[in-house]
Amino acid sequence: MPYEAPGWARTTRRFTDHLVCDFLGGPRPWKFAWIINFQKAGTFVFLLALMAWYDNTSATAWVYTAMQGSYGLVWILKDTAFPDPSWQRRITIAGGLNAFIGVLGWYWVFGWLLISGTSQPDYPQPDFAWYCLCISLCIVGCAIMIAADAQKFFTLRVQRGLITDGMHRYVRHPNYLGEIMIYGSFAMMVWHWLPVVVLAWVWLGLFAVNMIMKEASMSRYPAWAAYKKRTWWLIPFVL
């Protein structure tokens, strides 16, 4: 039988939706996607500007810039090829500012911490080994996120319903898993407490709530119970 998401999740979703979409009311001159794409497309330029401003051309700065900057370009390619319908909502001016200042802008702070020298990372492994780990997480995360979003976009264009194969065969939320791997790799490169706090807020306050709401919606399909029983929520064999 279909079930309803917990009250706290529904309340949190209404609150965050209001902050981003409807805050202070008034005209809705832009789409949510435009705010997201501005931050993603501007990341490479922003990080290169930081490197020039702080005269930091270290290997760590270059590696980090390549990782987050390239991810931003990957996102733009994804949005061009198969845009997410949920980002096409028209939002208020104050809502757009909230989205950027409250979440998206903080991702630029990660790079500033590292490139400015505010963070002086002392990695638990030799630098070359740590770079290898972070780059690998970022690349694999991008592949998982892109593949999952592409499968969802093109499958639902042909047939509405529960997706239980492909990237969704073992994990019910592979797109979120990919995003977590990507931003986790950025935090590992910065190696500072602030990215941990930001990601904890995003992953618990936004990602987890979205996944809970999505599962409540998917529970209306007859195949949901069997699909849920044989799959993992987010991480295979762990969660």
Q: Tell me what the mean pLDDT of segment 229-233 comes to.
A: 95
Confidence of residue 139 (pLDDT cuts 50, 70, 90): very high
CA distance 142 to 135: 11
Cα separation values, 17 from 22, 46, 55, 185, 203, Å = 7, 28, 40, 27, 16
pLDDT band at 2 (very low <50, low <70, confident <90, very high): confident
List the beta bridge partners of residue 30: 91
Question: In the chain, where do the E strands start and end?
Answer: 30-31, 90-91
196 within some domain = yes
Given this model, what pLDDT does residue 196 score?
97
Position 2 in a domain: no
Q: What is the pLDDT of residue 119?
A: 95
Residue 40 included in any domain: yes
Residue 184: in which H helix or E strand, if any? helix 174-190
Please give the pLDDT value at position 31: 95
In this model, does residue 1 exceed pLDDT 80? Answer: no
When pLDDT is averaged across residues 9-33 and rounded to a whole number, the result is 94
Residue 29 binned pLDDT confidence (cut-offs 50, 70, 90): very high
Residue 110 has pLDDT above 80, yes or no: yes
Q: Which pLDDT does position 237 carry in this prediction? A: 85
pLDDT digits (tens, 9 = 90+) for 143-186: 999 999 999 999 999 988 999 999 999 999 999 999 999 999 99
For residue 234, tell me if it sits in a domain.
no
At 236, the pLDDT band (50, 70, 90 cuts) reads confident
Look up the pTM and report it: 0.94
Alpha carbons 182 and 168: distance in angstroms, whole number:
19
Residue 72 inside a domain? The answer is: yes
- Mean of pLDDT values over 113-117: 97
Structure confidence at residue 3 (pLDDT): 82
Q: What average pLDDT does the chain have?
A: 95
User: The tokens 């270059």 sit on which residue?
Assistant: 62
d(CA 20, CA 86): 13
Confidence band for 238, pLDDT divided at 50, 70 and 90: confident
**Closest residue by Cα to residue 194 from 71, 111, 129, 134:** 111
Q: List the structure tokens of 32.
A: 């949510």
Q: Name the phi and psi angles at 191, rounded to 5.
A: 55, 60
pLDDT in tens, 39-92: 999 999 999 999 999 999 999 999 999 999 999 999 999 999 999 998 999 999
Residue 107 lies in a domain: yes
Mean pLDDT of 199-222: 94
Given this model, what pLDDT does residue 145 score? 96
Confidence at 239, pLDDT banded by 50, 70, 90: confident
| Number of domains composing the chain | 1
Give the span between the Cα atoms of 73 and 41, in whole angstroms. 6
Considering only CA atoms, which of 174, 202, 170, 171 is closest in space to residue 186? 202
For residue 150, give its domain range.
Answer: 7-221
CA 219/CA 172 separation, integer angstroms? 12
